[in-house]
Chains A and B, each alone.
Chain A
Amino acid sequence: MPSDEPPGQDTPDPSHHRPDADPMILPVMLAPIAASDLANPPARPLVLTPELEGRLHPLTLLFAGWNAVRGFLIPVIALFLFGKPTVAGVLLLFPLAITVFIGMVRYFTFWYRIEGRELVTRQGILERTERHIPLERVQDIRIEQGPLHRILGVADVYVETAGGKGPEASFSVLSRREADRLRCTVFEPAMATATPVSGEAVAVPASAPASPILVRKLRTRELVLAGLTSNRMASALVAFAVIWGLADNVLPDDVYERIGKWAFRVAEFVMEQETGQAVLLVSVGCIFVLLFCTCFSVVGSVVLFHGFTLSRIAEDLHRSYGLLTHRSSSLPRRRIQVLEIEEGFLRRMFGLATLRADTAGAGADERGQSRGGRDVLLPIVYQSEVAGLVPVFLPDLDSSDPAWRRVSRKAIRRGTIKGAFLCGLFAAGAILFHRSWIGLWPILLLPAVYAVNVMQYNHLGYSLVERYFRTRRGWLSRSTHVVPIRNTQAIVLRETPFDRRLGLATLFVDSAGQTYTGGGPRITNLPADEARDLARSLAHQASQTRYRW
Chain B
Amino acid sequence: MDITPPLESRNEVGMTRNAELKNGSNDAEASSEIPAEPAPLVLSAVNSDSPVEFERLDSRVVGLWRLTHAILMGFLLLAIAVGGVFVGLAAGGLWPIVLGVWLLLAGLSVWLCAWYPRRAYAAWGYRIDAKVLETRSGILVRVTRLLPLPRLQHVDLQRGPFERAFGLASLILHTAGTREAVLVIPGLDADHAVRLRDHLVKIGGDDAV
B67 within 8 A of A: no
Determine how close the nearest CB of chain A comes to the CB of B43; give it in whole angstroms: 4
Q: Are A542 and B145 in contact, CB atoms less than 8 angstroms apart? A: no
A51 vs B141: C-alpha distance in the bound complex, in angstroms? 56
A450 vs B88: C-alpha distance in the bound complex, in angstroms? 54
Q: Are B146 and A490 in contact, CB atoms less than 8 angstroms apart? A: yes
CB-defined interface of B141-173 with A at 8 Å, one 1/0 digit per residue? 111111111110000000000000000000000
A68 vs B179: C-alpha distance in the bound complex, in angstroms? 36
Q: Are A543 and B130 in contact, CB atoms less than 8 angstroms apart? A: yes
A406 vs B209: C-alpha distance in the bound complex, in angstroms? 35
CB-defined interface of B182-209 with A at 8 Å, one 1/0 digit per residue? 0100000000000000000000000101
Find the A residue at minimum CB distance from B178: A514
A402 vs B37: C-alpha distance in the bound complex, in angstroms? 11
A464 vs B151: C-alpha distance in the bound complex, in angstroms? 20
Q: Are B39 and A493 in contact, CB atoms less than 8 angstroms apart? A: no
Residues from 1 to 47 in B contacting A, C-beta threshold 8 Å: 21-23, 25-26, 29-31, 33-35, 37-39, 41-46
CB-defined interface of B108-124 with A at 8 Å, one 1/0 digit per residue? 00000000000000000
A360 and B176 in contact (CB under 8 A), knowing A500-B142, A539-B132? yes
Q: Are A514 and B45 in contact, CB atoms less than 8 angstroms apart? A: no
A543 and B21 in contact (CB under 8 A), knowing A494-B142, A495-B142, A533-B48? no
Q: Are A511 and B209 in contact, CB atoms less than 8 angstroms apart? A: no
B56 within 8 A of A: no
Find the A residue at minimum CB distance from B25: A527
Q: Are B39 and A489 in contact, CB atoms less than 8 angstroms apart? A: no
Q: Are A540 and B44 in contact, CB atoms less than 8 angstroms apart? A: yes
In the complex, what residues of A have CB within 8 A of residue B141's CB?
494-497
A547 vs B43: C-alpha distance in the bound complex, in angstroms? 20
Q: Are A536 and B46 in contact, CB atoms less than 8 angstroms apart? A: yes
A508 vs B179: C-alpha distance in the bound complex, in angstroms? 10
A539 vs B178: C-alpha distance in the bound complex, in angstroms? 17
Q: Are A489 and B140 in contact, CB atoms less than 8 angstroms apart? A: no
A360 vs B142: C-alpha distance in the bound complex, in angstroms? 29
In the complex, what residues of B have CB within 8 A of residue A547's CB?
150-151, 176, 207, 209
Find the A residue at minimum CB distance from B144: A493
A283 within 8 A of B: no
B100 within 8 A of A: no
A512 within 8 A of B: yes
Q: Are A533 and B148 in contact, CB atoms less than 8 angstroms apart? A: no
A488 vs B149: C-alpha distance in the bound complex, in angstroms? 11
A491 within 8 A of B: yes
A538 and B146 in contact (CB under 8 A), knowing A458-B31, A488-B151, A544-B131? yes
Q: Are B209 and A548 in contact, CB atoms less than 8 angstroms apart? A: yes
In the complex, what residues of B have CB within 8 A of residue A512's CB?
176-178
Find the A residue at minimum CB distance from B176: A512
In the complex, what residues of B have CB within 8 A of residue A403's CB?
34-35, 37-39
The CB with the most chain A CB atoms within 10 A, among B22, B23, B38, is that of B38
A492 and B132 in contact (CB under 8 A), knowing A404-B34, A537-B43, A542-B151? no
Interface size bucket, B side? 35 or more
B175 within 8 A of A: yes
In the complex, what residues of B have CB within 8 A of residue A549's CB?
176, 209
Q: Are B145 and A546 in contact, CB atoms less than 8 angstroms apart? A: no
In the complex, what residues of B have CB within 8 A of residue A513's CB?
178
Q: Are A537 and B46 in contact, CB atoms less than 8 angstroms apart? A: yes
In the complex, what residues of B have CB within 8 A of residue A543's CB?
45, 130-132, 148-151
Residues from 376 to 416 in A contacting B, C-beta threshold 8 Å: 402-406, 409
Find the B residue at minimum CB distance from A137: B209
Residues from 43 to 78 in B contacting A, C-beta threshold 8 Å: 43-46, 48
Determine how close the nearest CB of chain B comes to the CB of A398; give it in whole angstroms: 11
Determine how close the nearest CB of chain B comes to the CB of A66; give it in whole angstroms: 35
A5 within 8 A of B: no
Find the B residue at minimum CB distance from A460: B34
A132 within 8 A of B: no
Find the B residue at minimum CB distance from A403: B38
Q: Are A409 and B29 in contact, CB atoms less than 8 angstroms apart? A: yes
A443 within 8 A of B: no
Q: Are A510 and B43 in contact, CB atoms less than 8 angstroms apart? A: no
The CB with the most chain B CB atoms within 10 A, among A406, A540, A548, is that of A540
Q: Are A489 and B41 in contact, CB atoms less than 8 angstroms apart? A: no
A546 vs B150: C-alpha distance in the bound complex, in angstroms? 7
Determine how close the nearest CB of chain A comes to the CB of B139; give it in whole angstroms: 10
A150 within 8 A of B: no
Q: Are B183 and A490 in contact, CB atoms less than 8 angstroms apart? A: yes
CB-CB nearest 9 A-B residue pairs: A489-B177, A543-B131, A543-B148, A403-B38, A510-B177, A539-B146, A542-B148, A493-B144, A540-B45
8 more A-B contacts (CB under 8 A) besides A543-B148, A547-B207?
A: A360-B176, A406-B30, A463-B38, A488-B148, A489-B176, A519-B179, A535-B144, A536-B43
20 contacts between A and B (CB under 8 A): A405-B26, A458-B33, A489-B177, A489-B181, A490-B183, A495-B144, A497-B141, A500-B142, A508-B179, A520-B179, A533-B43, A533-B46, A537-B42, A537-B44, A539-B147, A540-B131, A542-B150, A543-B45, A546-B207, A547-B209
